[in-house]
Chain A
Amino acid sequence: KAGVTQTPRYLIKTRGQQVTLSCSPISGHRSVSWYQQTPGQGLQFLFEYFSETQRNKGNFPGRFSGRQFSNSRSEMNVSTLELGDSALYLCASSLFPSGSGTDTQYFGPGTRLTVL
């Protein structure tokens, strides 16, 4: 069974631009979560989607948004990029949403975003 895939793997953008990242979960998984990883802050939860609905969101500004499609694929968008948005963005999928008891999350390789 194929793992979680993320595209693109690397991105370079400039301040003020916007970016869209894509995530395809493991086949059959319906929950997708996004995380930001930086050397200073570590791994931080962005948001989780299940059945095309955002279930919860971490402590990030409104410039960070996402969505999920009917096939469970998910995208996240960051608008008006800032230098501090440079990070590894990780997507994780699970069968069911967090807290459900069958919520082991499996991660993709991440998208490395560099903002210049």
Chain B
Amino acid sequence: GESVGLHLPTLSVQEGDNSIINCAYSNSASDYFIWYKQESGKGPQFIIDIRSNMDKRQGQRVTVLLNKTVKHLSLQIAATQPGDSAVYFCAENSYSGGGADGLTFGKGTHLIIQP
């Protein structure tokens, strides 16, 4: 079916280390992918996005990699800080016969930063 999933519900890393959060998607028609960060009591916050005509995009301390061959998306966070503690969601544009259907979200990975 059309779904976006994450490999790990929880990821614990040491402060200062790099984090990699993975996501698998199943809809080969998806052409737009986004990573969101959600802190407790807040709405999802846009981090970075990537379109299917790219395989890598960099932002400030974050990099998103897209492998369309295996339908895999990853978010790399460099030098993690306490403020990076949150739940991270990947999302993709969904499509049906009637056109775009909004975003389909994965279940989320809870990133825990250990001091």
Chain A interface (Cβ < 8 Å from any Cβ of B): 4, 33, 35, 42-45, 47-48, 55-56, 58, 90, 92, 97-100, 103-110
Question: Are the C-beta atoms of B102 and A98 separated by less than 8 Å?
Answer: yes
Of B32, B42, B46, B102, which is within 8 A of A56 by CB? Answer: B102
Question: Are the C-beta atoms of B49 and A107 separated by less than 8 Å?
Answer: no
B19-27, B57-65, B104-112: which lies at the interface: B104-112
B94 at interface by CB-CB < 8 Å: yes
B25 to chain A, nearest CB (A): 14
Residues of B within 8 A of A47 (CB): 102
B88 at interface by CB-CB < 8 Å: no
Q: Which residue among A33, A55, A99 has the maximum number of chain B CB atoms within 10 Å of its CB?
A: A99
Of A33, A56, A58, A104, which is within 8 A of B49 by CB? Answer: A104
Question: Are the C-beta atoms of A90 and B43 separated by less than 8 Å?
Answer: yes
Residues of A within 8 A of B102 (CB): 33, 35, 45, 47-48, 56, 58, 98
Residues of B within 8 A of A33 (CB): 102-103
Q: How far is the CA of A71 from the CA of B41 in the complex (A)?
A: 28
Question: Are the C-beta atoms of A110 and B43 separated by less than 8 Å?
Answer: yes
Question: Are the C-beta atoms of B36 and A45 separated by less than 8 Å?
Answer: no
A39 to chain B, nearest CB (A): 10
Q: How far is the CA of A98 from the CA of B43 in the complex (A)?
A: 19
Q: Which 4 A-B pairs have the closest CB atoms?
A: A99-B100, A45-B102, A107-B43, A43-B105
21 inter-chain pairs at a CB distance below 8 angstroms, sorted by A residue, are A33-B103, A35-B102, A35-B103, A42-B107, A45-B94, A45-B101, A45-B103, A55-B99, A56-B96, A56-B102, A58-B101, A58-B102, A90-B43, A90-B44, A92-B44, A98-B101, A98-B102, A107-B36, A107-B44, A109-B42, A110-B43
A101 to chain B, nearest CB (A): 8
Residues of A within 8 A of B100 (CB): 55-56, 97-100, 103
**Given A99-B93, A107-B44: 5 more A-B contacts, CB < 8 Å:** A45-B101, A45-B104, A56-B101, A98-B102, A109-B43
Give A34's nearest chain B residue, CB to CB: B102
Q: Which residue among A104, A105, A110 has the maximum number of chain B CB atoms within 10 Å of its CB?
A: A105
Q: How far is the CA of A103 from the CA of B103 in the complex (A)?
A: 10
